[in-house]
Amino acid sequence: MVTRLALNGATGRMGTTVRDAAGAREALSAVLGVAPEADGELVVTPTERRDALVAHDVDVVVDFSTAKAVPALAQDCADAEVALVSGTTGLGDSALDAIEAASAEIPVVHARNFSQGIVALRRALDAALDAVGDYDIEVAETHHRGKQDAPSGTATTLVETVTDHRTVETVNGRAGTHVRGETEVGVHSRRAGNVRGEHEVMLADNDEVLRLCHRAEDRSVFAAGALTAADWLAGRDPGRYDIEDVLTGNEDDSDSQ
């Protein structure tokens, strides 16, 4: 059976990449786009979205848009009983609450990075943190000049992985006169060119430095992960799932209802 997709943020960098990647998969079909400026019969505006999801018999919405758009999107998906895969980053409390509320009605995957390499990096970081003592940790990320949110969602997730191991105080950038505190984790953001996404976690002690790095060279790696999630999510029970659930097929760790 073909899973019918709607792409929220259809005209953006990721929306167009996901559309092209979906076209190459037999099991998926992108039947609708949503963007602020509707530009054809298959692209509707956010106010038309809920009715269009029902009319086009959509199974899953794949969302790469903007944080402000997420609360209304999550509500529309719940109302239309359509599953949601969202990769949008920089979400504040209202968007996170809206995703949580929607997940009582529909299945939802939200991931700040859909690449397999970042899943592997998180696992490697977990293992490294088990192996080293209280090494100093700094996180750095570089993205294209068009990225709006900083630090990146992935950098935030990497700091959360550190938080699973120890109490930390996040310092976004460093300026002025200040000696590094023992619990600090510095997070550093650069914006330049068309860099797709680079992340590095540095773990350092006296006389040794361990670096864990990932570089996305094409947005297709994010699109592939999001489409795998869409395929996996269609027809599941309501609940909140994560990218580890998708890649391992593990449902024990989800909080599905």
Ligand X SMILES: O=C(O)C1=N[C@H](C(=O)O)C[C@H](O)C1
* Torsion angle in degrees (nearest 10) through CA of 21, 87, 124, 220: 20
**Stretch of 22-30, 65-73, 198-206, 246-254 lying at the interface with ligand NDP (CB under 6 A):** 65-73
65 touches ligand X by CB under 6 A: no
Is residue 156 part of an annotated ligand binding site?
Answer: no
Long-range contacts of 119-123 (CB under 8 A, 24+ apart): 119/243, 119/244, 119/247, 120/214, 121/158, 121/199, 121/201, 121/212, 121/213, 121/214, 122/157, 122/158, 122/161
Cα distances (Å, whole numbers) of residue 148 to 67, 163, 200, 243, 252: 10, 25, 20, 23, 35
CB 103 within 8 Å of CB 240: yes
| Interface with ligand NDP (CB under 6 A), residue from 19, 50, 112, 122 | 112
Is residue 111 part of an annotated ligand binding site?
Answer: yes
153 touches ligand X by CB under 6 A: yes
Is residue 154 part of an annotated ligand binding site?
Answer: yes
**Residue of 143, 188, 199, 214 marked catalytic:** 143
152 touches ligand X by CB under 6 A: yes
Minimum CB distance to ligand X, residue 53 (Å): 25
In the bound state, the residue with its beta carbon closest to ligand X is: 197
Is residue 248 part of an annotated ligand binding site?
Answer: no
Task: Say how far residue 203 (Cα) sits from the centre of its chain.
Answer: 24
147 touches ligand X by CB under 6 A: yes
For residue 25, how many other CB atoms are within 10 A of its CB? 17
Alpha-carbon span 121 to 244, nearest angstrom: 12
Alpha-carbon span 52 to 218, nearest angstrom: 31
Largest CA distance in the chain: 63
241 touches ligand NDP by CB under 6 A: no
Residue type, 168: V
Q: Which x/- pattern, by CB under 6 A, does the window 71-90 give for ligand X?
A: ------------------x-
Beta bridge partners of 137: 185, 203
Q: Which x/- pattern, by CB under 6 A, does the window 100-129 give for ligand X?
A: ------------xx----------------
Tokens at residue 64, please? 């790469």
Is 147 among the catalytic positions?
Answer: yes
Minimum CB distance to ligand X, residue 154 (Å): 3
Three-state secondary structure call for residue 156 = helix
Q: Which x/- pattern, by CB under 6 A, does the window 126-145 give for ligand NDP?
A: --------------------
Is residue 172 part of an annotated ligand binding site?
Answer: no
Minimum CB distance to ligand X, residue 117 (Å): 10
Q: Interface residues with ligand X (CB under 6 A)? A: 89, 112-113, 143, 147, 152-154, 197
Q: Which residues bind ligand NDP (CB under 6 A)?
A: 8-9, 11-15, 34-37, 46, 64-66, 69, 87-90, 111-114, 149, 153, 222
